[in-house]
């Protein structure tokens, strides 16, 4: 083999290896996009379980959460993305997660579809068949809780209102620090409106309220100053479910959303 032919062969081998590496990166990006969506869905489900509406079936919500955990463990938790994980991945019950985690539809253990294709716009479903979003993959669309109630009418949009699964207002202006955020309860002093978390939520040094429970069962509000993990950027405050879970954890309310978040990450600020 001449030197020129050797160089050409080496160049071709390098190009083929590079193309293969880029394809692997692209495939993993597709998977990570779906996993980020699953992470948000886990947060939405955790909030709905902690703060259900009157008509909600808690057993159904718990089952929804279990399906999310099963998908997360098999499709998203592995650090390495190899062929064993990517192709023909199955649950313990034998059902297929996906024929190809980078290109094909994903399914929950009960057979309900999650997404048609990772990284592409389309409808996203909860394990109970409820739609989470109709045109996922871009902002400005309605986002729904597992119980079907609207969370916001314009997801990933600054200064848009968000609502609890019960229909109560969370905030009128998501994505902006220093705005009013509310608990899903009436004002404890009998004033009009809901009890406020903070009039300047997310800003360092500002005041916020948290609930304490007295021995006779009554609720009392106490004040503290915002610092540490309670200081949020405008970007963090677009992730309303993640911020809410930070608040519910102040009150020792357990949730499983932490299973979907990398160990070095805050619960707020999902990798959209």
Answer whether residue 99 is part of any domain: yes
Segments forming the whole domain that contains residue 192: 41-260
Q: What is residue 5's predicted lDDT score, i.e. its pLDDT?
A: 52
Taking only the tens of pLDDT, the chain with its 272 residues reads: 554 554 544 444 444 443 443 344 476 788 888 999 999 999 999 999 999 999 999 999 999 999 999 999 999 887 667 788 889 989 999 999 999 998 999 999 999 999 999 888 899 999 999 999 998 877 778 999 999 999 999 988 899 999 999 999 999 999 999 999 999 998 887 788 999 999 999 999 999 998 887 777 777 888 999 998 899 999 999 999 999 999 888 777 777 777 776 544 455 554 44
- Single pTM value for the model: 0.84
Strand duo 122-125 + 131-136: pairing? antiparallel
**Residue-wise over 198-222: b if at least 16 C-beta within 10 A, else e?**
bebbbbeebebebeeeeeeeeeeee
Answer whether residue 60 is part of any domain: yes
Q: Are 178 and 203 spatial neighbours (Cβ–Cβ below 8 Å)?
A: yes
- Close Cβ partners of 225 (under 8 Å, ≥ 6 residues apart): 205, 206, 207, 208
Answer whether residue 120 is part of any domain: yes
Q: What is residue 221's predicted lDDT score, i.e. its pLDDT?
A: 86
Q: How many CB atoms lie within 10 A of CB 62?
A: 12
Answer whether residue 265 is part of any domain: no
Question: 3-state secondary structure string, the chain?
Answer: CCHHHHHHHHHHHHHHHHHHHHHHHHHHHHHHHHHHHHHHHHHHHHHHHHCCCCCCCHHHHHHHHHHHHHHHHHHHCCCCCCHHHHEEEECCCCCEEEEECCCCCEECCCCCEEECCCCCCEEEECCCCCEEEEEECCCCCCEECCCCCEEECCCCCCCCCEECCCCCEEECCCCCCCEEEEEEEECCCCCCCEEEEEEEECCCCCEEEEEEECCCCCEEEEEEECCHHHCCCCCHHHCHHHHHHHHHHHCCCCCCHHHHCCCCCCCCCCCC
Answer whether residue 3 is part of any domain: no
Structure token digits, residue 79: 């650090």
Answer whether residue 182 is part of any domain: yes
Q: In what order do the strands lie in the sheet with 143-144?
A: 143-144, 150-152, 162-163, 169-171, 179-186, 194-201
Answer whether residue 20 is part of any domain: no
Q: How many domains in the chain?
A: 1
Q: What is residue 90's predicted lDDT score, i.e. its pLDDT?
A: 93
Q: What is residue 260's predicted lDDT score, i.e. its pLDDT?
A: 75
φ/ψ of 103, rounded to 5, equals -130, -20
d(CA 239, CA 174): 8
d(CA 120, CA 33): 9
Answer whether residue 67 is part of any domain: yes
φ/ψ of 145, rounded to 5, equals -75, 165
**Residue-wise over 26-60: b if at least 16 C-beta within 10 A, else e?**
ebbebbbbbbbbbbbbbbbbbbbbbbbbeebeeee
């Amino acid at each position: 083999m001449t030197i020129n032919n050797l160089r050409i062969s080496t160049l071709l081998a390098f190009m083929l290896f590079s193309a293969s590496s880029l394809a692997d990166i692209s495939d993993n990006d597709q998977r990570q996009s779906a996993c980020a969506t699953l992470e948000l869905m886990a947060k939405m489900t955790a909030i709905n379980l902690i703060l259900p509406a009157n008509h909600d079936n808690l057993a159904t919500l718990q089952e929804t959460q279990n399906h999310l955990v099963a998908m997360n463990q098999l499709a998203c938790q592995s650090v390495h993305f190899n062929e064993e994980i990517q192709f023909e991945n199955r649950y313990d019950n034998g059902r297929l997660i996906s024929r190809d985690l980078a290109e094909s539809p994903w399914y929950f253990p009960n057979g309900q579809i999650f997404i048609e294709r990772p990284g592409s716009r389309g409808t996203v479903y909860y394990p109970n068949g409820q739609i989470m979003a109709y045109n996922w993959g871009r902002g400005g669309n309605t986002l729904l809780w597992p119980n079907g109630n609207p969370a916001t009418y314009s997801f990933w949009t600054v200064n848009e209102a968000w609502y609890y699964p019960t229909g109560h207002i969370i905030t009128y202006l998501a994505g902006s620090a220093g705005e009013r955020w509310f608990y899903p309860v009436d004002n404890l002093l009998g004033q009009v409106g809901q009890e406020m978390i903070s009039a300047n939520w997310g800003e360092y040094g500002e005041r916020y309220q948290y609930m304490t429970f007295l021995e006779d069962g009554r609720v009392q509000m106490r004040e503290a100053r915002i610092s540490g993990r309670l200081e949020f950027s405008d970007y963090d405050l677009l992730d309303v479910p993640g911020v809410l879970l930070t608040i519910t954890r102040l009150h020792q309310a357990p949730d499983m959303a932490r299973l979907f978040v990398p160990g070095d990450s805050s619960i707020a600020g999902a990798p959209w």
